[in-house]
Structure 1
Amino acid sequence: MPETTATPHYHVEDAVLSRYQAGAQEHEPSLCCPTDYQDVHYLDVIPEEILTKDYGCGDPTRYAKLGDVVLDLGSGAGKNCYMVAQKVGPTGQVIGVDFNDVMLNLARKYQGAIAKKIGFQNTEFVKGKIQDLKLPLAPLQAWLQKNPINTIEDVARYEAEGDRLRAESPLIADESIDLVISNCVLNLVKPSDKRQLFQEIHRVLKKGGRAVISDIVCDEPPSEKILNDPELWSGCIAGAFLEAEFLQMFEAAGFYGVEILSYAPEPWQTIDGIEFRSMTVRAYKGKEGICLERNQAVIYKGPWQQIQDDDGHTYCRGERMAVCDKTFQLLTSPDGPYAGQFIPVPPYQEIPLEAAPEFNCQAKARRSPQVTKGEDYHLTQLNGDTACCTPESCC
């Protein structure tokens, strides 16, 4: 996988925190690029103070569904959380995670007022690092106030307390989230933590859950000059992903169905000939598990002559392709990324999961209709009076 960044000669987190603390006090236009929201009426209940001090580059909120449990990474002033809160309704839940106390206080300031306007409260704002979603920073910070660090032994005790909190009181539990969103924040994470960041997104999602991330990407690797400019790091430039690398990070973390939902036709900024623009990507969790043979097949509808999935399986247009039960479910789910692209061909005689042998996963395997129907299938059935063509018909 290509690397877009070298190690900066300063502390990325300090530069980002300082810039966004200032952005919570006074609006800073350079921290965001123009964004069109699909459901603008959700903005009506949000105070102007939040709207002017919230920064982003896309609209991941439009992909939330009624009843979803949603996690917003780098929730800032809370605009996206409060939009999503209305979409998921009283049966849903929205958790905003941010490292910036000033932003967290601004988001919490209006919780009660917004809940009164929409008729329910389903939002929560917590302090944490998005690349370490197990670690609850509020109790760790309280522990640190009582146990200040003065020696190397104190550092060891601090780290042990962090490990204990991760194990006993994780900020975000495993497989607890339906939808992870983020709006122009992942690029702010220091390069050495980005792989862990995507692994954390994958960890917290339920099976079948999805991530929708809007962020800044670039068409060429940033120059050394860009990488070593603190203003460009906190300004969502130096940490931008290469276009292809952004998608590859999802794939490497175990996601499937990775798809570009939007790609800004014009660059947001161009520096030293390198174009930086907004991109929104969706990815799904749920391809984990063993492959079981249940005599299923799928038919790819087209229009391409053949396509290949993330695991190297090839599907030929119009042909019955053999798949395991797991892949059959992924390809034919009405809520999945491939909805409407495949015709499901289930077996005439269903094989119970507990009786299904392991599937011999091949890159390109056709399925004989006799396997689907069963070797002893010798039915002869004529349409008779129910024939589609009758003397009165036009065929």
Structure 2
Amino acid sequence: MSTTASTGNNGQEAAVAQRYSAAAEAKEPALCCPVQYRQEYLKAIPDEILERDYGCGDPTAHVQEGDTVLDLGSGGGKVCYIAAQAVGPHGRVIGVDCNQEMIALARRHRETVAQRIGYANVEFRYGLIQDLALDLEVLAEEVRGLAVDTPQGWLTLRRIEQRLRSERPMIPDESVDCVVSNCVLNLVRTEDRRQMFAEIFRVLKPGGRAAISDIVSDGDVPDNMKNDSELWSGCISGAFREDAFLKEFEAAGFYGIHIASRQSEPWRIVEGVEFRSLTVVAYKGKQGPCWERKQAVIYRGPFKRVEDDDHHVYERGARMAVCDKTFQLLRKSPYLGHFEFIEPREPIDPQEAEPFDCSRPKHRHPRETKGHDYHVTSETSGQCMDGGKCC
């Protein structure tokens, strides 16, 4: 884990940059929580990187073979090099950080790790995690020699930035299977956080997921702590409130948002506020039209009813009408095992499906899926479904 921008306060911003630049050269224990990583992956990573790692969780547990992975605030590269092994030779890992010392540390060991694991699939890019379209190294090349100390120069710089975001985006739209981050989002200044979540959503493919480990608080952080540059750069005073952290994913358009792991005991307590590590996993892909294909789902329980992020309510044991999009989403992670699925007796071709009326009654009568003219009577076979004799 490394850093991005902090608050708008120049003292805090400078403190963050200075602290992590120094942490790239010498280990600072105060910047990390105890984390258990998969030991087989650590063997390929040089000690210099392991000693300069600063994180609070292991989001790589949610990476899959063949994934294209984006690590936000990649720092010295530890998470990237773990993910490189998890995705295998057919996967790809991109680390983004805005601390040049950390990027230099990570890049210094690319060939060593590649030799040890047998393939090279990691690269590191210089940029802000709240602006994933702008590669700062490419920008530096474009503006070399440009004077920005006049209004005209500043406007020229803005035009170049916008052109690069459009023509040469650092991370293109819908190009990533999994976004991971390890204790970085809390360092982004408050006014940039909504944009940061929008950027995470933008770069993910439909069906992709975000696995984010970060420090959260159990209550609102007082202003005096937010204005303390030492606490901000130490991943404390910029922490999201626990419930608000999950709401940010919801506001960005994610679904299937859940807490994958939560530190039971606080990492630190400051002025009565508890700070602990939390890993959240969220999915992209619920956007798009809703089509009626006469499908239904039955929520298995154990709760009496549950509600999803689109306000669909599922009553335990009841046949609930859903559109085809929701029907397919509920068959995948993280909903596996919670529902039974009822297809219509006569399948409806997707090309012939009509729009699903979200205002309709939510229960689906069995005749809707079987057909109103379905009057079959089955014969007794003398055998139970499990092959034994019936009573």
TM-score, scaled to structure 2: 0.95
Aligned match of 2:141 = 142
| Cα distance between partner residues in 1 of 2:386 and 2:22 | 76
2:57, 2:214 within 8 Å by CA — same for their partners in 1? yes
1:359 matches 2:389: no
1:349 matches 2:338: no
Q: Which runs of 4+ in 1 moved over 2 A?
A: 6-15, 143-146, 383-390, 392-395
2:12, 2:227 within 8 Å by CA — same for their partners in 1? no
| Cα distance between partner residues in 2 of 1:389 and 1:289 | 41
How is 1:76-87 mapped onto 2 (pairs within 5 angstroms)? 76-87=75-86
What secondary structure, in the 3-state scheme, does the structure 2 residue paired with 1:126 have? Answer: strand
How is 1:313-324 mapped onto 2 (pairs within 5 angstroms)? 313-324=312-323
| Cα distance between partner residues in 2 of 1:389 and 1:211 | 41
| Cα distance between partner residues in 2 of 1:7 and 1:110 | 32
2:7, 2:13 within 8 Å by CA — same for their partners in 1? no
Aligned-residue identity in percent: 53
How is 1:1-395 mapped onto 2 (pairs within 5 angstroms)? 9-10=9-10, 12-37=12-37, 39-333=38-332, 336-362=333-359, 365-384=362-381, 386=383, 393=389, 395=391
Which amino acid in the other structure matches residue 156 of structure 2? R
Pair 1:329–1:132, CA change in 2 (3 A): same
> Which whole-Å deviations, capped at 9, do the CAs of 1:15-61 have from their partners, x for residues lacking one?
32221111001100111111122x22100110110001111000101
Q: CA deviation at 1:224?
A: 1.7
Q: CA deviation at 1:62?
A: 1.0
1:81, 1:96 within 8 Å by CA — same for their partners in 2? yes
Cα RMSD, aligned residues only: 1.7
Which amino acid in the other structure matches residue 222 of structure 2? S
Consecutive unaligned residues in structure 1, runs of 5 or more: 1-5
Q: CA deviation at 1:354?
A: 1.6
Consecutive unaligned residues in structure 2, runs of 5 or more: 1-5
| Cα distance between partner residues in 1 of 2:288 and 2:237 | 38
Which amino acid in the other structure matches residue 365 of structure 1? K
Q: CA deviation at 1:141?
A: 1.2
Aligned match of 1:3 = none
1:24, 1:53 within 8 Å by CA — same for their partners in 2? yes
Which amino acid in the other structure matches residue 199 of structure 1? A
| Cα distance between partner residues in 2 of 1:272 and 1:251 | 30
What secondary structure, in the 3-state scheme, does the structure 2 residue paired with 1:384 have? Answer: coil
What secondary structure, in the 3-state scheme, does the structure 1 residue paired with 2:170 have? Answer: coil
Q: How many residues align?
A: 386
Which amino acid in the other structure matches residue 130 of structure 2? Q
> Which whole-Å deviations, capped at 9, do the CAs of 1:226-249 have from their partners, x for residues lacking one?
111111111101110000000000
| Cα distance between partner residues in 1 of 2:269 and 2:66 | 40
> Which whole-Å deviations, capped at 9, do the CAs of 1:317-364 have from their partners, x for residues lacking one?
11110000111011112xx21111011111111111121111111486
2:12, 2:228 within 8 Å by CA — same for their partners in 1? no
> Which whole-Å deviations, capped at 9, do the CAs of 1:273-307 have from their partners, x for residues lacking one?
11111000000000000111000000000001111
Pair 1:382–1:9, CA change in 2 (3 A): same
| Cα distance between partner residues in 2 of 1:378 and 1:63 | 48
> Which whole-Å deviations, capped at 9, do the CAs of 1:238-276 have from their partners, x for residues lacking one?
110000000000000000011011111111111111111
Which amino acid in the other structure matches residue 51 of structure 1? L
Which amino acid in the other structure matches residue 282 of structure 1? V
What secondary structure, in the 3-state scheme, does the structure 2 residue paired with 1:97 have? Answer: strand
